[in-house]
Amino acid sequence: MSKLSSHTEVVIIGGGIAGCSIAYHLSEKNIQVTLVERKSLTCGTTWHAAGLVGQLRATKNLTKMAKYSTDLYRKLNDKDDLSAGFVINGSVSIAETEGRMQEMSRGASMGRNFGLEIEEISFDEIKEKYPLLDLKNVKGGWFLPQDGQINPVDITMCLAKEAKRMGCKIIENNKVLGFEQEGDKVTKVITELGDIACDKIVISAGMWSREIGKMCGVNIPLHACEHFYALTEYSEEIPKNLPILRNPDAHIYVKEDAGKLLIGAFEKKAKPWGMDGIPESFEFDSLPNDLDHFGPVLIEAMERLPILNDIGIKTYFNGPESFTPDDRYYLGKVPYKDNIYVSTGFNSIGVQSAGGVGKVMAEWIANDKSAIDLWDVDVARVLDFQDDTEYLRERSSETLGLLYSVHWPFYQFETSRNKIQSPLYKTLESEGACFGEAAGWERANWYAKNGQKREYEYSYGRQNWFENVREECNAVRSNIGLFELTSFSKFIIKGKDVVNFLNYLCVSEMNVSVGRIVYTQMLNSDAGIEADITVTRLDNDCFMFITSPTSHNKDYYWLLSHAKKFNDIIIQDVTKDYGCLSLMGPNSRNYLQSIIDEDISNTSLPFGFSKKVKLAGVECILNRITYVGELGYEIYTPYEKLVDVFETVYSKNKDNPIKLAGYHALNSLRMEKGYLHWGHDIAIEENPYEAGVGFCVNLNKQSPFLGQEALQIKKEKGIEKRKVNFSLSDNNLLLYHYEPIYFEGMIVGEITSGMYGFSLDKSLGMGYIFPTKNHTIEEMLNLQKFEIEVAETKYKATGSMKGFYDPAREKILI
Ligand SMILES: Cc1cc2nc3c(=O)[nH]c(=O)nc-3n(C[C@H](O)[C@H](O)[C@H](O)COP(=O)(O)OP(=O)(O)OC[C@H]3O[C@@H](n4cnc5c(N)ncnc54)[C@H](O)[C@@H]3O)c2cc1C
């Protein structure tokens, strides 16, 4: 009992590499930490990791974190009394297919922009760096000289030792049994050896995290899968200090260590594990080998590395690791709770990520906010429907394999689908909808023609739905398109103080007349954009707040947590009380007027206003607003009446064919307008002036909004970067994200999102650019010496602050 402090600032649950790294970084900040481990440090997943430490990740900040891991591990490895067996021999990545060539080549452009060293290497160079490889199937290769390999147990022990040296308490053989909570706050951690009172807790318990989350009412959806590798006998024929080899088309990675080869697998269909719970005794355990499962991958490896036919396998290893439904780990503060943090679900990259994870988590815990945009891995993205064992089991069988699949644009998950269907699902299905999943909702992405397969044929170029979406976009631009937008999250905010509340949270003046719709942003105290929303004043003391479904919990919690400072604010989640149809196009008013009694002329219902109307005898809210840049309306119906309203709107349409349109069309049309997408084009590292939505900001409201002070200072200093819309000279190439933007041969920014613009017939993107030493952003836009790099080749591009389609907004305001 004496080992435990009666109180500590932070309790970390789990002594794997992630927990120990957080302990190290918190201790560096002089924060009092107790780390509690149920058995021994590293005994969960960490001890048996293969120890690959790569640096290139899917986003800039995740790559920065992985780079930081390398620097930290190198520093610790070089300390006199520590050693982690860290060697930096680089890595060779091999492509065997055209799709993979595109992926790797685009990845190389992106990685260099993130500051990594990446060289495309010739066949001779591949052979020179990796003589054991048969080049028969090889189409290309890339070398990353700073990648390395480490002993995962040793580096974890280094982190733990250093953390202890700085004052951290590490208590092994002490299982966390539960928590005491007051309201939304954990006050005590109950352990086998006694209780620990604390200010904050961090759940960093690997594949046990879901179970621990349940003890304190937190949803941490993850599932373990079996991960296999084989270790060969020693052979003189194996050259020493080989780089890591990754051949994702063959589903393998290979590590040389002391004259042996370790061959690891990310097979297409994985084996979920732990359906009946993790055995209490699990400690430095492994799982039974399964050659029926692992064998086919080994055969692929033997075809590529002929030496494997001549040397024996010394050990077959199989160990469990946790996987998340979207293949991205969980970090940060849990919504709806005051002091619970999470760092878990590492999808087989926990060792390479842990250094950076420790750093950002320590900042997050110390300051109650993340210093950088980590939305991709933020635990706030977790949704309630994901707390479902069957969903997790099925999805994890897919996500392990996705690590080494080509990361196709517009990829749609194949498992655990149909979790949330709107009442219109069957109707749209019968109209040819090809569905995609967003936040669990099945949404029509595009409409197939009669006889056309509703499947994706993936590529980095124009996919099989390209012409379908062209027709949908053309209908919206020339006549009428009908979208279903029910999945958007909707909150009703009510109360006497509601105007003051919204004026505090939103950058725009919210004391508007009843019926007005306000497009606005919510900022944090550093003026970073937390949400991009529309808010409609339905009544004097009642507003409807609309946000994207992926931001559901993040925005709902943001509203709830700030509402505590105001009197009697009521916030209701009404997402499943309303369906939403969006009728867009130059003929939308004439058509809608023909089926609605209420006057919806431009005088009676101008742009940015809302009105109650009856459709099919059903009372609906009609919002004149657009995300596609046309005259158009969003129709909010009672959820259960959505089909009736749809039938009325759609079936009375014999002479003036309304075309059903999906989310790919929506994305293309918004790109032509330069409209933003939160999470891609804006988030906490952007402010409204940089994002080009400064027109929303009102600095002269009766009292300042959250973030106003910081925003004013930034405005006075002058903005650092600016969102610019781009069109590419080559229409056959498509932009996706992170393509570097050049001006006069120098990198000045990168693309945040891209899509083909069908009505302009242009390949489009948007991104942020920084001024150069010689030119302001305005001068750069006058000179137009832009190029964008796609797959290691630069192409001319035209930049514009305004969207390319209808920059004067004439189509919207008519
Ligand atoms: C075969 C294999 C190879 C891999 N190779 C690599 C690689 O090459 N590179 C890479 O980056 N990643 C690799 N990984 C992934 C990596 O090992 C993991 O992502 C990482 O170890 C996860 O660390 P963690 O700290 O989150 O979890 P863990 O190491 O599992 O630590 C969690 C700890 O929490 C403890 N705990 C659980 N419940 C409680 C409780 N109630 N009270 C107290 N303590 C508790 C557990 O005992 C455990 O020690 C590999 C994984 C496998 C399976």
Would the CB of 46 count as within 6 Å of ligand 1? yes
Residue 736, exposed/middle/buried by CB under 10 A (0-12, 13-18, 19+)?
middle
Q: Please check whether residue 753 is in contact with residue 409, taking contact to mean a CB–CB distance below 8 angstroms.
A: no
Q: Please check whether residue 215 is in contact with residue 263, taking contact to mean a CB–CB distance below 8 angstroms.
A: no
Would the CB of 356 count as within 6 Å of ligand 1? no
Mean pLDDT value of segment 106-135: 97
Q: Please check whether residue 331 is in contact with residue 360, taking contact to mean a CB–CB distance below 8 angstroms.
A: yes
Q: For the chain, what percent of residues have pLDDT higher than 90?
A: 97
Would the CB of 66 count as within 6 Å of ligand 1? no
Residue nearest to atom 51 of ligand 1 (CA): 49
Residue nearest to atom 39 of ligand 1 (CA): 38
Point out the ligand 1 atom lying closest to the alpha carbon of residue 350: 19
Point out the ligand 1 atom lying closest to the alpha carbon of residue 255: 8
d(CA 518, CA 506): 10
**Helix, strand or coil, per DSSP, at residue 77:** helix
Q: b/e string for 702-714 if b means 16 or more Cβ within 10 A?
A: eeebbbbebbeeb
Residue type, 470: R
Residue nearest to atom 12 of ligand 1 (CA): 349
pLDDT digits (tens, 9 = 90+) for 407-458: 999 999 999 999 999 999 999 999 999 999 999 999 999 999 999 999 999 9
Point out the ligand 1 atom lying closest to the alpha carbon of residue 191: 42
Residue 578 has pLDDT above 60, yes or no: yes
Would the CB of 344 count as within 6 Å of ligand 1? yes
pLDDT digits (tens, 9 = 90+) for 678-708: 999 999 999 999 999 999 999 999 999 999 9
Residue 176 has pLDDT above 60, yes or no: yes
Tell me how far the alpha carbon of residue 10 lies from the centroid of ligand 1, in angstroms.
20
Would the CB of 15 count as within 6 Å of ligand 1? yes
Q: β-pairing, 659-660 with 481-484?
A: parallel
Q: What pLDDT was estimated at residue 3?
A: 73
Q: What pLDDT was estimated at residue 215?
A: 98
Q: What pLDDT was estimated at residue 694?
A: 98
Mean pLDDT value of segment 305-323: 97
Residue 84 has pLDDT above 50, yes or no: yes
Residue 1 has pLDDT above 50, yes or no: no
Q: Please check whether residue 170 is in contact with residue 164, taking contact to mean a CB–CB distance below 8 angstroms.
A: yes
Tell me how far the alpha carbon of residue 49 lies from the centroid of ligand 1, in angstroms.
8
How high is the mean pLDDT of the chain? 97
Tell me how far the alpha carbon of residue 433 lies from the centroid of ligand 1, in angstroms.
41
pLDDT digits (tens, 9 = 90+) for 783-798: 999 999 999 999 999 9
Residue type, 479: N
Tell me how far the alpha carbon of residue 16 lies from the centroid of ligand 1, in angstroms.
5
Q: What pLDDT was estimated at residue 5?
A: 82
Tell me how far the alpha carbon of residue 358 lies from the centroid of ligand 1, in angstroms.
14
Would the CB of 47 count as within 6 Å of ligand 1? no
Residue type, 490: K
Q: What pLDDT was estimated at residue 653?
A: 65
Residue 79 has pLDDT above 90, yes or no: no
Q: What pLDDT was estimated at residue 652?
A: 66
| Mutational test site, ligand 1, from 13, 35, 39, 45, max ligand atoms within 8 Å of CB | 45
Residue 2 has pLDDT above 60, yes or no: no
| Mutational test site, ligand 1, from 36, 70, 348, max ligand atoms within 8 Å of CB | 348
Q: Which two tokens stand for residue 151?
A: 């002993």
d(CA 652, CA 583): 14
Q: What pLDDT was estimated at residue 46?
A: 98
Residue nearest to atom 19 of ligand 1 (CA): 350
Q: Tokens 């500590």 appear where?
A: 8
pLDDT digits (tens, 9 = 90+) for 637-679: 999 999 999 999 997 666 768 999 999 999 999 999 999 999 9
- The CA–CA distances, whole Å, from 449 to 421, 429, 479, 483, 562 equal 22, 12, 19, 17, 48
Residue 95 has pLDDT above 60, yes or no: yes
**Helix, strand or coil, per DSSP, at residue 5:** coil
Point out the ligand 1 atom lying closest to the alpha carbon of residue 156: 25
Helices (H), 260-376: 291-304, 350-367
| Mutational test site, ligand 1, from 172, 286, 351, 396, max ligand atoms within 8 Å of CB | 351
Tell me how far the alpha carbon of residue 286 lies from the centroid of ligand 1, in angstroms.
13
Residue nearest to atom 37 of ligand 1 (CA): 205
Tell me how far the alpha carbon of residue 172 lies from the centroid of ligand 1, in angstroms.
15
Residue nearest to atom 3 of ligand 1 (CA): 49
Reduced 3-state DSSP string for 541-576? CEEEEEECHHHHHHHHHHHHHHHCCCCCCEEEECHH
pLDDT digits (tens, 9 = 90+) for 753-763: 999 999 999 99
Q: What pLDDT was estimated at residue 462?
A: 98
Q: What pLDDT was estimated at residue 657?
A: 80
Residue 302 has pLDDT above 50, yes or no: yes
Point out the ligand 1 atom lying closest to the alpha carbon of residue 347: 19
d(CA 427, CA 207): 40
Indicate whether this model's pTM tops 0.75.
yes
Q: Which two tokens stand for residue 370?
A: 């993340």
Would the CB of 330 count as within 6 Å of ligand 1? no
| Mutational test site, ligand 1, from 39, 46, 294, max ligand atoms within 8 Å of CB | 46
Point out the ligand 1 atom lying closest to the alpha carbon of residue 351: 11
For residue 396, give every residue at least 6 positions away whose Cβ sits within 8 Å of its Cβ, in sequence order, or none: 222, 223, 224, 225, 270, 272, 323, 325
Would the CB of 680 count as within 6 Å of ligand 1? no
For residue 704, give every residue at least 6 positions away whose Cβ sits within 8 Å of its Cβ, in sequence order, or none: none
| Mutational test site, ligand 1, from 22, 321, 322, 377, max ligand atoms within 8 Å of CB | 321
Residue type, 401: G
Point out the ligand 1 atom lying closest to the alpha carbon of residue 212: 41
Mean pLDDT value of segment 561-585: 97
Residue type, 380: A
Point out the ligand 1 atom lying closest to the alpha carbon of residue 39: 47
Q: Please check whether residue 349 is in contact with residue 246, taking contact to mean a CB–CB distance below 8 angstroms.
A: no
Tell me how far the alpha carbon of residue 283 lies from the centroid of ligand 1, in angstroms.
11
Would the CB of 394 count as within 6 Å of ligand 1? no
Point out the ligand 1 atom lying closest to the alpha carbon of residue 253: 8
d(CA 613, CA 619): 6
